[in-house]
Amino acid sequence: MRKTDETIEIDILRLAKAVLQKIWAVILAAIIFGVATFGMTYVFIEPTYEARTLLYVNNSNFSVGNTSFNISTSSLSAAQELVNTYIVILKARTSLNEIIEYAELDRNYAELQSMISAAPVNSTEIFEVVVTSTDPAESEKIANAIATLLPKRIAEIVDGSSVRVVDYAIIPTSRSGPSYAKNTFIGIILGIFLSVAIIVLKEFFDVFVREEQYLSQTYPYPILAAIPNMKSSKSSSSYSSYSEN
């Protein structure tokens, strides 16, 4: 780093060299942080499981309240809007309370709502309901309760609706999260970033003069002598320099 009256010049090559000289520390930090995040994920984050059910929307004419709609089976955008309407009905408090009672769940509707996600499948008239839980049997139970109750619930609200079950949920056999690989990768990146930042900051705020070139470029004075660095294995080429002031 070179400081003038108005600006501070940063020697990028010097900083890069400092990082390369301590690349072992960067690698070590990456390993430590990677192992730490993997361990924390494994120990402290409980695995989750997803159960899925598929529902099919078959409506050419339907009405909500006093408003009537006509949907062509070739109009995917209109079908998707209808699916979005059904998803809103699914996540309504009354619908969720019915599911809780039917499945005999020890949860409130807010907890259940956070466990459920739904979306159209490839912009078709089929939508998928995904239930995420730390208990695989519970996720399957809730998903199938939704498949059983939602068609009736929608029929009570949307006149002329027709929702059919394409696939019932099964008990998931593998976890859906957390991702050990993803969290470990984040830990490695964090370790690299922090170690490099520390090395750069340490070099940036280093006030010692270590190179003869720095003196010659910074001050308009001739260098009278250079003291060899006796700790270096290459003492003939490593010096502590002084300039005439």
Q: Which residue intervals of the chain are DSSP H helices?
A: 12-21, 23-44, 76-90, 93-103, 109-115, 136-157, 180-204, 212-218
Residue 35 falls in which region: left (phi positive, over 0), alpha (psi -120 to 50) or beta = alpha
- Kind of pairing between the strands at 239-243 and 223-228: antiparallel
Looking at the predicted structure, is the pLDDT value of residue 232 above 70?
A: no
pLDDT of residue 53: 94
Residue 113: Cβ within 10 Å count: 16
In whole angstroms, what is the distance from residue 108 CA to residue 66 CA? Answer: 33
Please, which residues have CB within 8 angstroms of residue 46's CB and are 6 or more apart in sequence?
134
Residue corresponding to tokens 């003069």? 209
- Residue 91: how many CA atoms within 13 Å on its side-chain side? 17
Give mean pLDDT, residues 217-223: 69
What domains lie within the chain, and their CATH numbers?
A: 1-45+184-207 (no CATH), 49-167 (3.30.70.1130), 208-245 (no CATH)
Condensed to tens digits (0 to 9), the pLDDT of residues 3-17 reads 544 445 566 777 888
| Nearest one of 8, 9, 14 to 203, comparing CA atoms | 14
In whole angstroms, what is the distance from residue 204 CA to residue 181 CA? Answer: 34
pLDDT of residue 238: 47
Q: What is the share, in percent, of the chain residues with pLDDT greater than 90? A: 42
DSSP state of 232: S
Would you say 223 and 205 are in contact if contact means Cβ atoms under 8 Å apart?
A: no
Coil, strand or helix at 121? coil
Give mean pLDDT, residues 84-107: 91
Residue corresponding to tokens 């070179």? 2
Residue corresponding to tokens 């730490």? 36
pLDDT of residue 77: 59
- Kind of pairing between the strands at 67-70 and 239-243: unpaired
Could you give the angle at the alpha carbon of 115 between the alpha carbons of 111 and 119, nearest 5°?
A: 135
Condensed to tens digits (0 to 9), the pLDDT of residues 23-72 reads 999 999 999 999 999 999 999 989 999 999 999 886 555 455 555 555 54
